[in-house]
Amino acid sequence: MRKTFYQYLMTFKDARQPNAVSLLAQHVHQDLQFPKQSNDYHQISDYLELNTSYLASLAIFDEVWEKFLEENET
């Protein structure tokens, strides 16, 4: 079964060494409005860009999104 982007991102939440990706995961975990069931790039990126203040750069999201796609190829 394929993971949602949210489920994938949560695998980075408790990193031993905090980094931009783990911080994003922690913020998303606390964001009750995040589209948890979505795997649509545009829906998630629009949400992050327009509705949050915890993401300084969408480049971080884009980096994680690319990894998500690579690991979920079937």
Q: What is the pLDDT of residue 74?
A: 59
Count of structural domains within the chain: 1
For the chain, percent helix, then strand, then coil, each to nearest 5? Answer: 55, 0, 45
| Residue in this structure with the two tokens 């031993």, named with its chain if needed | 16
> Cα–Cα distance between 9 and 21 in angstroms, integer?
8
Intra-chain end-to-end CA distance of the chain, in Å: 10
Q: What is the pLDDT of residue 49?
A: 93
DSSP 40-62: -HHHHHHHHHHH-SS-S-HHHHH
pLDDT 10s digits, 49-59: 999 988 888 99
CATH assignment of the domain containing 50: 1.10.150.260
Range of the domain at 58: 5-71
